[in-house]
Structure 1
Amino acid sequence: MSTTQKKLYSYYFILPAAVLYIVLFIVPTFSSFYFSLTRWTLFDFEFIGLDNFVQLFKEESLAIGFKNTVIYTVVSVFFKVVLGLGLAMLLNKGLKTQSFLRAVFFFPSIISSVAIGLIFNALMYPTTGLINNTLRAIGLDGLARNWLTDPSIVIYSVSFVEVWKYLGICIVIFIAGLQAIPKHYYEAISIDGANRFEKFRYITLPLIRPALNSVIILSLIGGIRSFEIVYVMTQGGPGYASDLLSTVIYKQFAEGYYGLATAGNVLLFAAATLIVFPLYTYLTKREVEY
């Protein structure tokens, strides 16, 4: 068998996966760019140029959805990083119950987003929900809120649920990063008299950057494209108070504005790409090799 034949033979194993990827991802992706320029139904379409995008930017719900998506993403990324790293450091200290605690924190990640949305709908119910009832029972009546019907806090309520569901994955990534740091680095800096904060600043934080960058990028993408939790809990309400870009696009599809919704999907894809790729490039350049 010649060298060329050997190379072609290896590509035969890739071919089935490549065909599926092209058919299920590449073709629909590029088709959506075209159909975003049309007014289409399941049986017919009419090319209308950029009219869908012009109409989209006139929609009040788009501006609110964009603002809410930014808030939702920033809040979820911040708490996933801060809480995830803090809990990972705690669970990496060799506690007797660390295996049990790791399982507890990871468990929400494997539960359906729809199920979690329904559970927290019940927990956050203003009159009979466990959260408000617990606050009243311990004398903190003033902290009880209409978590899902108050326009001023609803976006933060659903952001909390996003953090609760995916925090376990962040913890696992951080623990993997912490366990990859050579122990002799800590021993060396301890000899120099470094305290815990200095160990964290000069050893842990620089060397955990690959894990930190992974959590930031995954959380950012997850926040931008989040849909199920918000839609199950609030359907974007009250009014547009918790609408994200994804829920706005879904409502347009549901109302039969397929071309407009496709333009919204293209806009969401472009926004995610323009944010994630430059950030990923910037973060990876700051990683420390060891």
Structure 2
Amino acid sequence: MAAKRKSRATHTLVFLIPALALYTLFVIAPTLSSAYLSFTSWDGVSTKIHFIGFDNFAEIWNSERVRNALKNTLILTAVLVVLENAAAIALAMLVDQVRWARNLFRSVFYFPVLLSGIVMGFVWTIILNYNFGVLNQLLDLIGLGSLKADWLGSPRFALVSIILSTVWKQAGYYMIIYLAGLQGIPQELTEAAAIDGAGRWQQFKSITFPLLAGSLTVCSVLSMISSLKIFDQIAVMTDGGPGFATETLTYIVYKVGFGELRQGFGTAMAMVLFLLILIITVIQVKLLRKREVQL
């Protein structure tokens, strides 16, 4: 019996070694390498790497540009998590009630998810362009030309434009998860509530939303991580501008590391972003799991 268990363990190890080797090569090794480079002033090109200790992290701590990017990142993340989940729940409930061409509506709402961030950015750049954009032309057409604005060139509207375009792209993805959650809710519960005189809002507040707690946890965490790492839309739509109005931590990592050839500082920023995502994720999961238990 012992020999059989040993043989099974050996076979298991043989199957695990290739996966572990790939994980070490593409995840663990680059992470350790990045951790080391964050303490250097490497430019990304030269073969000489100068160790400078915590100087990069001290610069991050004292940088006004980084503080502005952190503020933009947190605002964008908080708003996106709320709006993406609210839109996804609304779409899921709408599609769940449709009895005709349900798969068609699912496909239509999910289609933006299939677009890459780059393509989506170009689409919305055309829509929001001040001179020939679809939105401003539509406002002119319906007699609301006074509401025209430079949606991507104004510090007042640029971040809002990125948020709304990202919600348009991502809501369909979370809609699918909420749809699965809705289909797991027993129909008898809503029918009993309707018989007792509960309206649609009361049914949603007391039955549907509490029973979507598991889906809400998954979608909120995914949305938060995606928002903290947002890059494509900003790169295409605003390039971090106007000024630094839409610059985020992820975009600074790119601009500093590859645009200014400060790989050491950029890697230090990436490590800070990694820790930020880790801390926020742990706190968010803990709070949402606690809510699930209470419900």
- 1:57 and 2:57 matched: no
Partner residue in 1 for 2:281: 276
Partner residue in 2 for 1:15: 17
Map 1:146-225 onto structure 2 (within 5 A). 146-225=150-229
- What secondary structure does 2:41 align onto? strand
- What secondary structure does 1:265 align onto? helix
Where does structure 1 differ by over 4 angstroms across 4 or more consecutive aligned residues? none
Aligned residue pairs, count: 290
Q: Quick one: which of 26, 29, 45 aligns to 1:27?
A: 29
CA distance in 1, matches of 2:65, 2:228: 16
- 1:247 and 2:228 matched: no
Partner residue in 1 for 2:6: 4
CA distance in 2, matches of 1:160, 1:232: 15
- 1:260 and 2:265 matched: yes
> How far did residue 288 of structure 1 move?
5.2
- What secondary structure does 1:45 align onto? coil
CA distance in 2, matches of 1:97, 1:79: 26
Whether contact under 8 Å (1:209, 1:288) holds in the other structure is no
Whether contact under 8 Å (1:147, 1:157) holds in the other structure is yes
CA distance in 1, matches of 2:272, 2:90: 35
CA distance in 1, matches of 2:293, 2:186: 13
> How far did residue 113 of structure 1 move?
1.0
CA distance in 2, matches of 1:282, 1:78: 15
RMSD of aligned alpha carbons = 1.6
Say which is worse superposed, 70-79 or 181-190, in terms of deviation. Answer: 181-190
- What secondary structure does 1:139 align onto? coil
CA distance in 2, matches of 1:196, 1:212: 20
Whether contact under 8 Å (1:207, 1:289) holds in the other structure is no
> How far did residue 98 of structure 1 move?
2.1
Unmatched 5+ stretches in structure 2: none
Whether contact under 8 Å (1:206, 1:288) holds in the other structure is no
- What secondary structure does 1:237 align onto? coil
Cα deviation digits, residues 233-279 of structure 1 (max 9, x gap):
11101110110111111110121111110110011011111111111
Whether contact under 8 Å (1:56, 1:264) holds in the other structure is yes
Q: Report the AA paired with residue 169 of structure 2.
A: K
Cα deviation digits, residues 19-70 of structure 1 (max 9, x gap):
2112111121122122111122441212111001112223222111111111
Say which is worse superposed, 236-245 or 192-201, in terms of deviation. Answer: 192-201
Say which is worse superposed, 205-214 or 69-78, in terms of deviation. Answer: 69-78
Partner residue in 2 for 1:140: 144
CA distance in 2, matches of 1:133, 1:281: 47
CA distance in 1, matches of 2:200, 2:266: 52
Map 1:37-186 onto structure 2 (within 5 A). 37-40=39-42, 41-42=44-45, 43-186=47-190
Unmatched 5+ stretches in structure 1: none
> How far did residue 15 of structure 1 move?
2.4
* TM-score, normalising length: structure 2: 0.94
* TM-score, normalising length: structure 1: 0.95
- What secondary structure does 2:50 align onto? strand
Say which is worse superposed, 20-29 or 193-202, in terms of deviation. Answer: 193-202
Map 1:222-237 onto structure 2 (within 5 A). 222-237=226-241
